[in-house]
Amino acid sequence: YDGGMFSAEAAVLLGDLYVATDPVNFYAAVTAEFDSVEARAAVIFDDSGDYIASLGATATLDMFTLDVDAYFDEIAGDNDWGIAAEGSFDATDTVAIYIGAAYQEVVAADQFTVYGGVNADVTETIAANAELGYVDNGGADYIYGAAGLTYAPGGGFETSLNVFADTDDHYRLAFEASKEF
């Protein structure tokens, strides 16, 4: 359903989202837009009582954007939840700066993350981004950095090169290319 200010969707999903014994899952989501504020909610659940639910809102005020999301789940008797917030602003017509934080309470270990970054349009077809963050993963703290370049010359073609590294000796170099016809 898309009625202008409100949109909603519902679905039945087949597959093992939670455990191998629950192949049928139900999904519903709704979004409401009021001037410069968007509110959203979604839930996916099965007939055994397992679920994942999320609530969120985004407010766009002139050159500032604030985004808040929360999720809750119960899977196989374990309850987890998390909350995240991000603020961003346009420093120039081509440069946006953002900062965010997230907290997640899970059975194994709580996790706190804080990060900041920049997205920049270098040219009309090339965009660059960089991010630096800190993660406290139940006492296993680390710092990470990520950067990337995206080239989108038009015609449905886009390619990107991204790099990630952290102080726990995790490294990733990713190349992606896509063409829409």
pLDDT digits (tens, 9 = 90+) for 83-135: 999 999 999 999 999 999 999 998 778 999 999 999 999 999 999 999 999 99
Q: Find out whether 146 and 160 touch, Cβ atoms under 8 Å.
A: no
* Alpha carbon distance 161, 13 (integer Å): 33
pLDDT at 14: 80
Q: Which amino acid is at 50?
A: D
* Alpha carbon distance 89, 66 (integer Å): 9
- Per-residue pLDDT for the chain (181 aa), expressed as one digit of tens each? 998 899 999 999 887 666 666 578 899 999 999 999 999 999 998 877 889 999 999 999 888 999 999 999 988 778 899 999 999 999 999 999 999 999 999 877 899 999 999 999 999 999 999 999 999 988 789 999 999 999 999 999 999 999 999 999 999 999 999 999 9
Look up the pTM and report it: 0.80
Query: Which residues does 65 contact at the CB level (< 8 Å), separation at least 6?
Result: 58, 59, 87, 88, 89
